[in-house]
Structure 1
Amino acid sequence: MNNPEDLKTDIASEEVFMQLFLQSERRILGFILALVPHLADAEDLLQETCSIMWRKFDQFERNTDFTAWGISIARYRVLTYRRKAASSKVRFNDQLLEKIADAAIGVSMKSDERALALQTCLAALREKDRELIRLRYFAENSTKQTAEQLGRSVDSVYKALNRVHDSLLWCIRRSLLGEV
């Protein structure tokens, strides 16, 4: 019979793993998709990667980059996949694959920087502009639905969205250049 304290530790470890994995899943899948031509294969590789990450979670060094650890495991899964698919008509050589993998990691990191900049810039918007963005994009309304909810014309909502988009773009660029 398991010790109740061991069971509590196992559950806590599982919760920590799931939280970290869910935060990293899109970036890991994006990395795999940069190297694997078919979505179904990429999703299978993500599942394999997740399984390996869970089995080796006790080897993960806390306070290090979980996503980078997952991507390194995914890289090996992709290499194994490629060896099995070697008979395919279209095949990258391993050196090119490594270059693509390195570029995908760089793009993934820049994507995180942009997402953080967007988050910061959204927070800096005026309340009415944040509400406009929330209604249009986060609530997934059409521009017409957004205009109806705000009691405004569709044309005025288009103009306001265009102005907010420009403002966000300007803010994000400044943020990425370190000017904010």
Structure 2
Amino acid sequence: MKLFLQSERRILGFILALVPHLADAEDLVQETCMIMWNKFDQFEKGTDFVAWGISIARYRVLNYRRSTGTRRVYFSENLMRQIDDAAVGLSVQGDERLSALQSCLGRLREKDRELIRLRYFAENSTKQTAREVGRSADSVYKSLNRIHDALLLCMRHAVKMESFPTKSLRAEG
């Protein structure tokens, strides 16, 4: 179930690139997820789950195109394969970036991680976050900016070097 939930948005993004109507795209995502669920025993553990889902989605989109082919002009099958390949590549890049972000977050000081948690994971505004930590909104805003800069630098380094820095991050200021 975790794999399905993590992949659903990426599969929807792939389908939306190929299907003009959101309602149709959402229906195709549901069809794709049903097929993935029914064929889960055919998924090879250790391979890219999103890529597998996108390949199933591609066939659902092809069927959709065949059934609605008289209404609109759509992408050629060759172009769809190229989009499919690009989507899988973006999926891998997204996974690398997510991994880098998680590693970089883990290297922040505890109080900086707490600000990030309160602001983004708890979905608080900067003012709400400031109230919770007993600081001014301006102070929290400046701290968040420094933390963002530190995370961005760490992630660029991690993705570029394909390894993560070993020292902890400190948002100076």
**How many residues end up aligned between the 2 structures?**
163
Shift of residue 107, structure 1, vs aligned partner: 1.4
The worse-fitting range, judged by mean Cα deviation, of 126-135 and 145-154 is 145-154
Measured on the aligned residues, the alpha-carbon RMSD in Å equals: 1.7
The runs of 5 or more residues in structure 2 that have no matched partner are 165-173
**Separation in 2, partners of 1:43, 1:145:** 34
Note if contact 2:55-2:84 (Cα within 8 Å) is conserved in structure 1: no
**Separation in 2, partners of 1:22, 1:171:** 28
Q: Which residue does the alignment assign to 1:52?
A: 35
Length-normalised TM-score, structure 1: 0.82
Q: Which residue does the alignment assign to 2:167?
A: none
Note if contact 2:16-2:25 (Cα within 8 Å) is conserved in structure 1: yes
Give deviations 1:40-81, integer Å, cap 9, x for gaps: 212111111122222223333333333222221111111111
Shift of residue 90, structure 1, vs aligned partner: 4.4
**Separation in 2, partners of 1:132, 1:70:** 35
1:77 and 2:72 are equivalent in the alignment: no
**Separation in 2, partners of 1:129, 1:53:** 40
Change over 3 Å in CA distance of 1:122–1:48 after alignment to 2: same
SS state at 2:114 partner: helix
Alignment partner of 2:140 out of 157, 162, 167: 157
The runs of 5 or more residues in structure 1 that have no matched partner are 1-17
Q: Which has the larger helix fraction?
A: 1
Percent identity over paired residues: 71
Give the 5 Å matches for 1:23-172. Answer: 23-172=6-155
**Separation in 1, partners of 2:124, 2:19:** 34
**Separation in 1, partners of 2:153, 2:91:** 21
Q: Which residue does the alignment assign to 1:174?
A: 157
Q: Which amino acid aligns with 1:27?
A: R
**Separation in 2, partners of 1:65, 1:104:** 12
Question: Which structure has the larger Rg over C-alpha atoms?
Answer: 1
SS state at 1:109 partner: helix
Q: Which residue does the alignment assign to 2:171?
A: none
